[in-house]
């Protein structure tokens, strides 16, 4: 009823039924959009709360008296293991090319691969093609197999000179 009164007032004096109906539909549409956005925010907050609960349960984070969250020693260790696997760099006399076509559903694994290639000193030719003068550590290959992306990766060793070798830094 309130929406109808708002529609009559916003349509103005002497407006036709069609104009009032259009204003009423507009108010109703805006309310539905607002409710949808509120529900989306609630869903995001629920997922975030659930995620923090799992991190607390696993002992990776701890809530302080001030309400702030901080990483525990176990959390710091897990974060370091996850984000920065410091593999031993082993130089190669030949150029190594890593090419991959990892599906979007495995984006996390793709990002892990890119981060580790950067840490190994590889240079990006394209987002899915990298080259460098270091060997790929077997430990990294085992990790990639564990997260299920090794089948999407091709590794080549170039033994003859070409344009990439001439442009190495």
Look at residues 34, 60, 83 and tell me which one is the last residue of a structural domain: 83
- pLDDT computed for residue 64 by the predictor: 82
Q: Is the pTM of this model over 0.75?
A: no
Distances (CA, A) of 66 to 60, 70, 72: 18, 11, 16
Domain containing 141: what range?
86-166
- Same structural domain, 59 and 98: no
Strand partners, 63: 69
The domain tally of the chain equals: 2
Look at residues 35, 54, 83 and tell me which one is the last residue of a structural domain: 83
- pLDDT computed for residue 156 by the predictor: 93
Category of 9 on φ-ψ map: left (φ > 0), alpha (ψ -120 to 50) or beta:
alpha
N residues, the chain: 169
Look at residues 43, 67, 83 and tell me which one is the last residue of a structural domain: 83
Give the model confidence (pLDDT) of 12-69 as tens digits: 888 888 888 889 999 999 999 999 999 999 999 999 999 889 889 988 888 888 888 8
- Are 152 and 107 in contact, with CB atoms under 8 Å apart? no
- pLDDT computed for residue 166 by the predictor: 60
Query: In the predicted model, is pLDDT for residue 82 greater than 60?
Result: no
Q: What is the mean pLDDT of residues 143-153?
A: 90
- Same structural domain, 90 and 162: yes
Distance (Å, rounded) from C-alpha 120 to C-alpha 96? 11
pLDDT band at 1 (very low <50, low <70, confident <90, very high): confident
Percent over 70 (pLDDT), the chain: 91
Query: In the predicted model, is pLDDT for residue 83 greater than 80?
Result: no
């Amino acid at each position: 009823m309130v929406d109808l009164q708002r529609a009559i007032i916003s349509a103005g004096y002497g407006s036709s039924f069609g104009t009032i109906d259009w204003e009423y539909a507009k108010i109703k549409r805006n309310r539905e959009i607002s409710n949808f956005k509120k529900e989306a925010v609630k869903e995001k907050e629920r997922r975030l709360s659930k995620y923090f609960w799992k991190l607390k349960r696993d002992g990776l984070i701890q809530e302080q008296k001030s309400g702030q969250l901080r990483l525990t020693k176990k959390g710091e260790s897990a974060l370091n293991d996850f984000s920065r696997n410091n593999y031993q760099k082993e130089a190669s006399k030949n150029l190594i090319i890593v090419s991959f076509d990892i599906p979007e559903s495995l984006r996390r694994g793709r990002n892990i691969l890119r981060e580790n290639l950067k840490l190994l000193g590889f240079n990006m030719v394209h987002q899915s093609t990298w080259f460098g003068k270091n060997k790929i550590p077997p430990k990294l290959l085992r990790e990639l197999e564990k997260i299920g992306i090794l089948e999407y990766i091709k590794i080549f060793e170039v033994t003859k000179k070409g344009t990439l070798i001439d442009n190495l830094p």
